[in-house]
Structure formats: structure tokens, C-alpha cells
Structure 1
Amino acid sequence: MLERLQRLLGLQTIPGVFFTSAGIAVLFVAVAVPYDKEVSGTFGILTGWVAANLGWFYILSVTSLLLFLLALAVSRYGTIRLGSDDSRPDYSNLTWFTMLFAAGIGTILMFWGVAEPVSHFANPPFEGVRPGSDQAASDAMTVALYHFGLHTWTIFAMPGLAIGYFAYRHNLPMRISSLFYPILGERAFGPWGWAVDVIAVLGTLFGVATSLGLGTLQLNSGLSYLFGIPSTGWVQVLLIAIIASIAATSVALGLDKGVRRLSQLNIVLAILLILFVVAVGPTVFIAEGMVQSVGDYFDALPWLAFWTETFRESDWQRQWTLFYWAWTISWAPYVGIFIARISRGRTIREFVAGVLFAPTAFTLVWFGVFGLSAIHVEMDGQIALAAQVQQDPSVAIFAFLEAFPLADAASLLSVIIIIIFFTTSSDSASLVIDMLTRRDDQPSLTRQRIFWAAAQGVIAATLLLAGGLDALQNVITSLGLPFCVLLIFMAVALFRALRADYQGYSVSELVQGRAFPEVEAVATPKKESQNV
């Protein structure tokens, strides 16, 4: 029946994945629009249960994956390429980095670059720390870097590495289900694999929708600041519709013409904004604070990575850390596939070093400039920044820029950056979802990619109307859990395949049980690698 429907609509998909994912998304919107309060309340209850009972699982999983990736990079497997042994990268390091950043957390940094450090400065997460104190400032920067540094990029790097490895080295389809071939065998291409891909599609849809929702809130605040446009739900829906239309145009152009050019443009604009704040802001304070913040971050990382608020009755970690991890995990399939697609030819060591440390370095600079400057503004009493952020975090960067000359021009530049980040997130996610819902031998139809771009916008609008920021946080914290489990299995499958590859066995030999005979315990390759 689904195949008949596909032919009727003129689509090129895996019907079980496409129509199941689309059907669940449509059902969610159909229920959430008339019953917004009930849906929001249900996810609030579910989020509370997840935070109370499984928060430790999120914390332990992400930290364990970080250690796994670092160990993999320095191990004997680090020299294995994502592709044949003689393959080389498709993109230069600079182009690769700009695409990583724009498709990853550009929108998030624009929203939280000022809002999070100021929030923690005014309301310290640790007991015994006085709000507004020097220790509160130091802790605020440390926690912000923890949330957006190595741990965030671990969540993106894990699926990206696994997908790139199986796709380019073993010629498996570039879908999440392919990563489970060493575990499921041929069942990875049937209903079991389809179920995995449906989870990945839904996680991507809701994860990117959450990012679009946050971006819309911030964009509305910027337009309200610049032009007096009211901050209302229907204005936000209109903004989503406009941006979705821009994203649909970009996604129709494809990866190289659309996403790459927008990514390169936006990284230049983001650097201009950074240079502006450094030039007109507390330059020496930024430089000193950045050096200290890097030290504080790496000093606190070993214990902070395992901190679970065990001895404290607080909702802080649910609102911040668990939300970030679940949010990042939910759209990790999209970012992972996107990163894999632009990373062919790199060694595992190059991939891990680039994906973990290059964007983290930029994140350190971003928070060093915006976070430290915002804390300086608050400490000097130039404007009541903390009060405005606590009332509405979406106004943070615009309220912050009021403390500097050329505030209107800087705010307008910020709005442009938000729009482009908005667009690159949506169009690259649409390309990836289309890849997840069709076979490699099927053409990528423009109307399918546009459908997924529209779906992201509709879900984002629905979540905003259902409860704004709280609804975004509750839905994504709940939905991130299934894919967190998949990430663990993904690491296991990748390690098994790498071990077989290093010893000269193909993935198919691994599945058939012909790899790793008990009498052989080799530490060097036996024969040349071969594809499936």
C-alpha cells in the first residue's frame, strides 16, 4: 500500500521510513495544535521523570563517548581513513571547518553566548557561591564552556565518524541503520533498520525544530529592538514561514551551491561581530578572562563531566545540562550525517581532532568574547543585563549590544547572522533527512527536500505556540533518550568493525562470524582492507 502511495505521489523513498516518519510528525502537529496545553503538560511530566531517574545516564553516556573517541584517535585505529587508503579530503580544512560550524551549533551560540554566562553569574549553579561575585563569574564561564565545548561536539562526532567510516570504507548506505550492520547483519536493511532510521528522522525533525524555535524567539526580539515589531506567537510563526521559504530555496540548490556558500558567508560575518565586540568592548578584560577561562574549564572538566547533583535537591541540571545533552543528541543524526558527507578522505585521527577541537576552540573564543563582555557589563552596572536575560533570554545579545557604540548596526548584523544560521541549519537538515528516507540508488527529489524543510518549520511553530521555550525544552529532553541509547550501540558497532578492518577483515566477514578466529591474536594487519 505504501509503495502504491509513493508511486501515486511520484516520490523516491524507502516507504516504511518516509511515510512512518512523516505520519508521526503530522500526527503530532494535528494533536498539539488543538490540545497544546495537554501536550505541553504531558511532555513536562515525562521530562521530569527522565530528569529524576535517567539524568545520570545522559551524563555518563556523553562523557564515556568523549573518552572513547579520544582513545580511538590515539590508538592504532587512528590512521584508518574514511574511504580507501589512498583517498584524500574533498574540502580544504578552512572550508570544512566553516561547514562544521554553520551546520552544528551556530544558532545555539548566537542564542546562549550572552544569555547563559549572565544567567549563571546571577544565579550560580553551585552551592555557597554568592551571586555576582568573582567566583560566580568564573563558574559561569566554566559551565558555559562545559555545555558547548568538547561534550557537545562528542555527540556530533560519534555518529559522524561511524557514518563516514561505514559509508566510505565499506560502501554501506549513508543512513543511521547502516551503523548497526555489524550487530544486525542483513536485518539492518529491513524493518529493524527502518525503525532505527525513523528514530533518527524524528530526532532530527524535533531537534532542528527546537533550534529553529529558539532562533525565531531571538530573531523576533532583534526585530522588536530594531523596528518595534511586536514579540507575539503569530509574528514568530510568520518569521518561521519566511525563513523556511529561504531554506527551501537553498536546499533546492544542493550542498555545494547552497550550504557551503552560506556557511562561508556566515563565518565571516560572525568573525566581524566578534572583532567588533573585542574592539569596542573591554579588550584587556576579554584577553585575561579568556586565558583564565580556558584553564578553569580544563581544570574543572574531570569532575564536572561526572557531576550529577546527587547531594542537592535542585532542578538546575534538568533545565540546563540535561536539556543541552538531549537537544544535541536528538539532532546528532542530522549533524553526524552532514559531517560525514563533508569528511571523506580524512583519517580517524584527523576527524576526531578536527570535529572535537576546532569547533571547541571557536566556542571558547565566542564565549570568551561575548560571555566575558556581558559579565563585565553587568559588573559595571552599565545596564541591568541579568534582569533582562532572566525575564527573556532571547533578548540577551541585543540588550548586551546596547552597552556599546553602533548598537543598531551591531544588532542588525546579529539579525543577519541569525537568519543565515537559521537557514543553514534547516537546509542541511533537509538534505540529511532526505538521505535517511531514500535508498542511495534513488535520486534526491527537490520536492522531498522541500517537504522536510517545511515540516521543520511547522513543528517549530507548533512548539512555540504550545508553550514557547518551556515546551521546546520539555519535548526535546524526552525525545533525546532513544537516540542516546543508539549512540552507545553505535560506538560498540564501530569498534567491532574497526577491529576487523585493522586485521584485514571486511564487515561482511565480521557479520558472518569469520573474523577474529580464536587462534589468532594479531596486533598488525594480516591483509589489505577490502570493502563489503
Structure 2
Amino acid sequence: MSPPFGLEPMSSQAAEISVGYTMFHWGLSGWATYAMAAVIIAFYYFVKKIPNLRISVACGFTKENGKEKFGKIVDTFVIIGLSAGVAVSAAIGTPMISQGLYHLFGIVPSLVGNIIIALFLAFLFGASAISGINKGVKFLSNFNSIIALGFILYVALAGSTSFIANNAANSLGVMLQNFSYMSFYTDPINKSGFPQNWTVFYWAWWISYVPIMGLFIAKISRGRTIRQVAVSTTIMGSVGSWLFQTVLGGYGIDKQLSGSVDTIGKLQAGGDYEAIIALLNSLPFGNIVIFAFIIITFIFLTTTCDSSAYILASIATKDITDDMDPSKFCRLLWSIAIIAWPIVLLIVGGIDAAKLCSVLGSIPILFIFYKMIRNFLKDVRKYIDSD
């Protein structure tokens, strides 16, 4: 409808580039950012043997060099940035669940309904947070991974499998061919706002998750080399995202081009969420597919908020070591705090407010990340020289 590069709206060129651009937004650049953060955090955690690692430590702000006060400021901004990223996820996901419930049970979407869903979400991931990472989060993550992979396989087989496969290969080529152009595209001539509305927003959202993803990937990377962490995170993370984007995106484009589902018409008449539900309903056993989609979305939001609450509680807990968990009360407190923000966003402005929140929350993280990189390069050179 509003393609980049000055392409004509609703043209075949716009359709051809659409999934490729989605792969760009959810691909190599974002995952490389997480890989970089993970390598830096893992260096201090495993090589420098700092057990109570916080992002401020990776920036070089410690008691030993008298910069602990700066470290507290950094950790505060990390908390704000991470909370903003989680708030965006919940603020976008909650109305989607609401639309699915409307289709299945006739519950009319409303602000009150969205708030009730958010509160139930808070109750679920609050209970999961109290049970701990190795129980609640691990069980939900494993369970949801199986459902999600089954869901995406079903869409690939129930839809036009040959078109989805061909479009996926073509989209990969489009993305790789235009990667540099997409990375620096600001559209100064046509001034369509495409890179600002999409690329800037997505990358701000990615950056807000740098602390939690860096800590998570670092913690599971014991015994790996820098090359292994960087390559596996960047490539496998991208491939995992592309699997969903190419299958769901390819299915949607096929239905639109064939005329069997007017997704664009649904989008213009009822908005994003109604178009998504209409598209899923076009699959065989549509109601079952939508129900599975609601469950997947709900659990993904739960595990995202749950793990974020755990990380936030760890950052906010004084003198915590690697073999300790933050207190249950602290985890529950952060679970409540995390869900309060998206409720406010739903009240004041929905997705537009969520986008602004994501961009603003990521700005301090960007400067903190830059400091992490500089401090890492300095310390790793000292480490190599000492060897």
C-alpha cells in the first residue's frame, strides 16, 4: 500500500519486495546487534569472572574504579529501555488476542477488554516468574516452540506450498541484493516516511531488547568461541525469524494476489488485527487455527514478559551473584510494573504511542551500547597483551 523506493502502491514490484523487506527488518542487522552484546557480556562473565554482571559493569563503571554512581545511572536507563521494549510487545499483542476472541466467541474488542487481557497476562507471567526460570519460563517456552513450529508447518502445507517456497527464495534474493540500500535508505526525495515509520521503529525496538538478549545469549554460550557465538546468533536467529516471515507473508500475498482474501480491504476497513484474523480464517479449520494462534501469541507474550521481569529484578537487586535468583517478591513487583506500562499505552494512544515509547526508550540504550563496545575493545586488548 505504501512501498519504499518510490514503487507504485499495489503493484507487482511492491508485492515482490514486501517479504524481502520484512526479512531485512527481522534479520541480520538485528541479530548481529544481539550477537555483539552477547560476546561483550560473555567476555566479562566467563573470561573476567565477574559473577554479578550488570550492563554497567560491561561499560566499565564499577566500585573498583570509583565509577559506581555512573553504573547505577546506566542500569536505570537499561531498566527503562527494556521496560519500553516489553511494553511495545504487550501493547501490540493484546489487541491481537482481543480480535481473535471476538471472532471465536463474539466478545467485542474494547479498551476495557484489552486491559482485562493484559491483567490476566500479568497474573499468568507473575505466577510463572515466581516459580523461576528453570520451571515456569522453561516449560512455557518449550511448549510454545512445539506449537509454533506445528502452526507454521500447517500454514505452509495448507496454503500454496509451491508459491510460498518460490516467494521465500525470491525474497531472500531481493533482501540480499538490496541489503546496503535498505540499511542506509532515508528517502530524502520522495519523503514517503517509509524508513522512519518502519526501519527506525523496528531497529529502536531491537535495541531496547539488547540488554536481555545479550544476557540470555551470553549465559548459554559457555565454552563457545567468539566466532561461534557471533555466527550462530546472527545466522540461526535470522533463519528462525525468516521461517515465520516467509511462510505467513507468502501465504498472505498469495491470497491477496489470487483474490481469495482481500486482506488490503480488510486492513483498510477494520485495521491490522481484523486483517490478520481474516487471513488465518481462510485456512482449513480456520477457527482451530485462530485458537492456536491466540494461544501462541499469549504464551509468547507471557515468556517475554516473564524473562524480562526476571532480568529486571536481577538488575535491581543489590549484590546478586550468578548462582542466586532475585527474590520472589522482587520478581512479582517487576511483573506488575511491566504490565502497567502497556496498559497506559493502550489507554493513551495504542500502537502509535507504543512506537514512540519504543524509540524514546531505545535512545539511552544506544549510547550505553556504544560505551559497552568501546570498553570491551579496550579490555580485550589488555587481555590479549597480558597473554
The bucket for the TM-score relative to the shorter chain is: over 0.9
Alpha-carbon deviation of 1:392?
1.8
Q: Is the 8 A contact 2:130 2:328 kept in 1?
A: yes
Q: Which residue of 2 aligns with 1:268?
A: 146
Alpha-carbon deviation of 1:416?
0.6
Alpha-carbon deviation of 1:140?
0.8
Q: Which residue of 2 aligns with 1:187?
A: 66
d(CA) in 2 for partners of 1:494, 1:393: 42
Residue 503 of structure 1 aligns with an amino acid whose one-letter code is: D
Residue 489 of structure 1 aligns with an amino acid whose one-letter code is: K
**What is the aligned-residue identity percentage?**
29
Alpha-carbon deviation of 1:397?
3.0
Q: Which residue of 2 aligns with 1:259?
A: 137
User: Which secondary structure state, in structure 2, belongs to the residue aligned with residue 265 of structure 1?
Assistant: helix
Q: Is the 8 A contact 1:330 1:479 kept in 2?
A: yes
Greater relative contact order (CA < 8 Å, ≥ 6 in sequence): 2
More deviation, 151-160/194-203: 151-160
Q: Superposed, which structure 2 residues align to 1:343-358 within 5 Å? A: 343-358=221-236
d(CA) in 2 for partners of 1:455, 1:209: 10
d(CA) in 1 for partners of 2:41, 2:215: 6
Residue 482 of structure 1 aligns with an amino acid whose one-letter code is: P
d(CA) in 2 for partners of 1:413, 1:315: 35
Q: Which residue of 2 aligns with 1:414?
A: 293
Q: Which residue of 2 aligns with 1:284?
A: 162
Residue by residue, what CA displacement relative to the aligned partner does 1:366-385 show, whole Å, maximum 9, x if unpaired?
11111011011111111220
Q: Which residue of 1 aligns with 2:330?
A: 448
Q: 1:432 to 1:288 in 2, by over 3 A?
A: same
Q: Which residue of 2 aligns with 1:241?
A: 119
d(CA) in 2 for partners of 1:379, 1:321: 25
Residue by residue, what CA displacement relative to the aligned partner does 1:94-152 show, whole Å, maximum 9, x if unpaired?
xxxxxxxxxxxxxxxxxxxxxxxxxxxx321221x222322111211121111100112
d(CA) in 1 for partners of 2:360, 2:138: 32
d(CA) in 1 for partners of 2:36, 2:362: 15
Q: TM-score, normalised by structure 2?
A: 0.94
Q: Superposed, which structure 2 residues align to 1:353-502 within 5 Å? A: 353-390=231-268, 391-438=270-317, 439-441=319-321, 444-502=326-384
Residue 374 of structure 2 aligns with an amino acid whose one-letter code is: V
User: Which secondary structure state, in structure 1, belongs to the residue aligned with residue 65 of structure 2?
Assistant: helix
d(CA) in 2 for partners of 1:187, 1:201: 22
More deviation, 408-417/470-479: 470-479
Residue 309 of structure 2 aligns with an amino acid whose one-letter code is: S
User: Which secondary structure state, in structure 1, belongs to the residue aligned with residue 381 of structure 2?
Assistant: helix
d(CA) in 2 for partners of 1:141, 1:443: 41
1:135 to 13, 32, 35: 13
d(CA) in 2 for partners of 1:406, 1:132: 29
Q: 1:422 to 1:209 in 2, by over 3 A?
A: same
What 5-or-longer segments of structure 1 have no aligned partner? 1-121, 505-526, 528-532
Q: 1:376 to 1:185 in 2, by over 3 A?
A: farther
Alpha-carbon deviation of 1:185?
6.1
Q: Is the 8 A contact 2:152 2:244 kept in 1?
A: yes
Q: TM-score, normalised by structure 1?
A: 0.69
2:87 to 209, 215, 227: 209
Alpha-carbon deviation of 1:331?
2.5
- Runs of 4 or more consecutive aligned structure 1 residues displaced over 4 Å after TM superposition: 182-185
Alpha-carbon deviation of 1:206?
1.4
d(CA) in 2 for partners of 1:195, 1:312: 41
1:220 to 98, 123, 127: 98
Alpha-carbon deviation of 1:182?
7.8
Residue by residue, what CA displacement relative to the aligned partner does 1:51-104 show, whole Å, maximum 9, x if unpaired?
xxxxxxxxxxxxxxxxxxxxxxxxxxxxxxxxxxxxxxxxxxxxxxxxxxxxxx
User: Which secondary structure state, in structure 1, belongs to the residue aligned with residue 189 of structure 2?
Assistant: coil
Q: Is the 8 A contact 1:174 1:435 kept in 2?
A: no
Residue 77 of structure 2 aligns with an amino acid whose one-letter code is: I
Alpha-carbon deviation of 1:258?
1.9
Q: Is the 8 A contact 1:207 1:327 kept in 2?
A: yes
d(CA) in 2 for partners of 1:419, 1:163: 30
Alpha-carbon deviation of 1:310?
2.7
d(CA) in 2 for partners of 1:159, 1:217: 32
Aligned residues: 382
Q: Is the 8 A contact 2:38 2:218 kept in 1?
A: yes
Q: Is the 8 A contact 2:83 2:338 kept in 1?
A: yes
The alignment yields a C-alpha RMSD, in angstroms, of 1.8
Q: Which residue of 2 aligns with 1:503?
A: 385
d(CA) in 1 for partners of 2:193, 2:174: 24
Q: Is the 8 A contact 1:182 1:497 kept in 2?
A: no
Residue 366 of structure 2 aligns with an amino acid whose one-letter code is: C
Q: Superposed, which structure 2 residues align to 1:81-92 within 5 Å? A: none
Q: Is the 8 A contact 2:37 2:214 kept in 1?
A: yes
In our comparison, the structure showing a higher alpha carbon Rg is 1
